[in-house]
Amino acid sequence: MDIIASYGTVLILIAAAVGFFMAYGIGANDVANAMGTSVGSKALTIKQAIFIAMIFEFAGAYLAGGEVTSTIRKGIIDATPFLDIPELMVLGMISSLFAAGAWLLMASFLGWPVSTTHSIIGAIIGFALVAVGTEAIQWDKVGGIVGSWIITPAISGFIAYLIFMSAQKLIFNTDAPLKNAKRYVPLYMGLAGFIMALVTIKKGLKHVGVDLGAVEGYALAIAVAVVVGIIGKIAISRLNIDPKADKQMQFNNVEKVFAVLMVLTACCMAFAHGSNDVANAIGPLAAVVNIVENNGEIAKKAAIAWWILPLGGFGIVAGLAILGKKVIKTIGEGITHLTPSRGFAAELAAASTVVIASGTGMPISTTQTLVGAVLGVGMARGIGALNMGVIRNIVVSWVITLPVGAALAIVIFYVLRTAFGV
């Protein structure tokens, strides 16, 4: 308790610095989830993708990043053992942010799309183990995370496969792809509007105090779907495309329509991602600030100081702008060759999986969701369409994220304990 009283301001400043560092890592690594497929399919250039993501990620983080957040991210550890030793909780959360940020930075340099959620959870588990022992860990939650390594990519991959094959059957493998695109693409647009509205409602609006019930949420999403579908039909009917063009030219024109659609889904995913995953950086930071300001009292909920959300938002934007290119290239170009229609299938499948996970409470990584969706699109074209070397590296990086995060957090935790004489 003396540590908190004596070094309170210093601890908050250190926590703010490592919170920004963690947000930087999220921007560098995780934002590729929203923009990787758009770049890989040539719907956007890397510069355009980074510019769009900067706007929507920051808007999501700042406008919908949460008025209140749990002190312990995802409820992965029990705070009870720390009630009498809050200084260990403070040092542990700082260690976790530093460790997770360091791992994200390393993975981003290597171009590996890893899970920011699993990085911070692994780090929190590491410090809790050495601080108070195994009884602080909610092991059932850890088991759910390990299970999600297989379940999440499988679900999104299957959905992406179905969306892609339906587009092939209804549009691309027909004698009149352009005519069928005008008929069916508005339906895809309506479906995209429905899923993206649900993602925004479930992942974004609840953070700004707009907590719609299930019926209201679905009614609003259906209304958005109808409006988007109608607008899409009008827009496509006005496209100046020669119906007598050869089949390849018709294919190219259909892909242009999907490219526009993809940019819209990418913007929504970036907003939802910013609102949701910024909590990986600001959750532990808010916990530290709250404990210090309450003289060591650990609350179940931590009110967020006014400066924390913009700090997280700026951190995400900085990481994306400076180091985001490598992971964007891995997702967009490294796994399989993407066209706008394939990228759209992957993007929509990832968003659908996020909605399913939100409804069922399944622990989920947006990174693993999108990688699984891109794999599903690749599998639809046969195993030869996949770059197995890149996939192997990605899977290895997923498996080692939890233990690496834990090991780094343990080392940093001991260094901080020694430095502050705890």
Question: Using one digit for the tens of pLDDT, what is the confidence trace for 8-18?
Answer: 889 999 999 99
Alpha-carbon distance 178 to 249, whole Å?
A: 9
Tokens, residue 190: 């309506």
CA dihedral 70, 74, 76, 78 (to 10 degrees): 20
pLDDT band at 67 (very low <50, low <70, confident <90, very high): very low
Q: Could you say which DSSP state residue 302 is in?
A: E
Length of the chain: 422
To 10 degrees, what angle do helices 32-40 and 340-360 make? 160
Distance, CA of 203 to CA of 206 (rounded, Å): 7
The encoded tokens of residue 96 equal 């976790």
Write out the H or E segment, with its range, that includes residue 328: helix 325-329
CA distance 43 to 334: 16
Structure tokens at 211: 């907590």
Q: How confident is the model at residue 256 (pLDDT cuts 50, 70, 90)?
A: confident
Nearest Cα residue to 279 out of 308, 247, 305: 308
| pLDDT digits 0-9 by tens, 214-234 | 788 888 889 999 998 898 888
Q: How far apart are CA 347 and CA 327, in angstroms?
A: 16
What integer pLDDT is reported at residue 68 of this predicted model? 40
Determine the 3-state secondary structure of 77 from DSSP: strand
Q: What percent of the chain has pLDDT over 70?
A: 90
